[in-house]
Amino acid sequence: MNKITFKTKPNGKLIGKLRVPGDKSMSHRSIMLGSIAEGTTEVKGFLNGEDCLATMNAFRAMGVNIEEKSATELSIHGVGMKGLKAPKSDLDMGNSGTAMRLMTGLLSGQSFDSVLIGDKSLSTRPMNRIIKPLKNMGGGFETEEGGRPPLKIKGRNQLKGFHYEMPIASAQVKSAVLLAGLYADGETSVTEPGITRDHSERMLRGFGYEVKTSGDKGQNISLQGGGKLTASNIDVPADISSAAFFMVGASIAKDSDLTLEHVGINPTRTGVIDILKLMGADIRLENEQEVGGEPVADIRIRSAQLKGINIPEELVPLAIDEFPVIFIAAACAEGETVLTGAEELRVKESDRIQVMADGLNNCGIDAQATADGIIIKAGQLTAGTVDSHGDHRIAMAFAIAGLCANGEIIINDCANVNTSFPDFIALSASVGLEVDLG
């Protein structure tokens, strides 16, 4: 992959209206469930980024006909629950941990062997959290040392439903177990210690599969194996994780007034809005509606003086992907921001706690990494050079930081931005954020 460098320009502001690309979590799942459904699933708003294209190519390699009607519209000709065919080569998940973890669950119930591989970054990420419960269901796996990819999945195992008490709240683990449960004998259920994003449950229901949710906070999810999925039409809303960069940008850049259109506001994903509001952000939801079972809204953000907070731990799972840019908000706020209970950030595309702390320190901010979080003392962002370690969210977070810096921020290793947010540079420029490519 080509080396790409971002160079920011200081003193920008964000004005206007913008629709960011489609939700990545839902785009992955639309391919997976549409492929094993009966009939043709029509998808609008698909995220045409490298991560989701890797998922699409994997299912094509397993015999699924997927037509690209446009960059964001697909027709998926489902082959049914047992219609996938053995791929002739390894399935490359690129940079996508979501795709690899969910695919591990889905493929563990197939009648053929398969191998999942990824890029250099993904190949360092441990898969043991997924493999442990799937082994309890009867799945067979081989990995490299430490549970790292390549991940060999043994087919022809009759999975058995079981109940899994998740030690750490994770939508990826929950979804992998539920997808395996589609192929298991009996009931598969998951109890999560905190609420996580529920796109898998919602979309399974949208394909006609019964999923039960119980508990005072909806923390026990169960389904019976052996059913079928029926093709559906899916309208993927704009991705709140991509919108988050501009929420922070419009909050911290003076004289900003930005509206983000048709953003998914699934209550399991709105932690970033809640956290920014606690920090004093001026955020308003407009034109709220429900599309295909998912709530959406236009989000208007105007600049505001943010203040540092202790981030409530119950909001951590609801904002887990947005923390890199939340850390930028903290750097531009008044006072100190403290995050705890977020050890999962250390096993993302990079160690996001340490990489963000290092980058902020390089740009004049006192940021101290802790075992499960970070302490950020606000100050003046300065010119500096940041290594994103190939992590798309780190790269975009520091691009946003340029709005409040007093000099140029140089961000290295930014090619992976295309995995989640194609056209980030052009769309940013359309509302006033100028980033040069080096």
The residue ranges of every structural domain in the chain are: 6-22+237-437, 24-235
Question: Two tokens at 246?
Answer: 């501009």
Residue 411, pLDDT above cutoff 70? yes
CATH architecture of the domain formed by 6-22+237-437:
Alpha-beta prism (3.65)
Q: In this predicted structure, which of 221-225, 290-294, 297-301 has the lowest mean pLDDT?
A: 290-294
Calpha distance 416→328 (Å, rounded): 20
Question: Looking at residue 290, what is its pLDDT?
Answer: 87
Residue 291: the pLDDT is 82
pLDDT, residue 430, reads 97
- pTM score: 0.85
pLDDT category at 331 given cuts 50, 70, 90 is very high
For residue 219, what pLDDT band results from cuts at 50, 70 and 90? confident
What pLDDT was estimated at residue 338? 98
Same fold, 6-22+237-437 and 24-235: yes
What is the CATH number that goes with domain 24-235?
Answer: 3.65.10.10
Active-site choice (198, 321, 387, 391): 321
> Does the structure show a pLDDT above 70 at 417?
yes
Q: Sign of torsion, CA 289 291 294 297?
A: negative
282 is catalytic: no
The CA radius of gyration of the chain, in Å to the nearest whole number, is 21
Assess whether pLDDT exceeds 60 at residue 413: yes
Helix (H, G, I), strand (E, B) or coil at 40: strand
Question: Given a cut of 90, is residue 37 above it in pLDDT?
Answer: yes
On average, the pLDDT of the chain sits at: 95
pLDDT at res. 185: 98
Q: How confident is the model at residue 215 (pLDDT cuts 50, 70, 90)?
A: confident
**What is the CB neighbour count within 10 angstroms for residue 394?**
29
What is the rounded distance in angstroms from the CA atom of residue 198 to the CA atom of residue 176? 12
pLDDT in tens, 236-263: 999 999 999 999 999 999 999 999 999 9
Mean pLDDT in residue range 401-406? 96
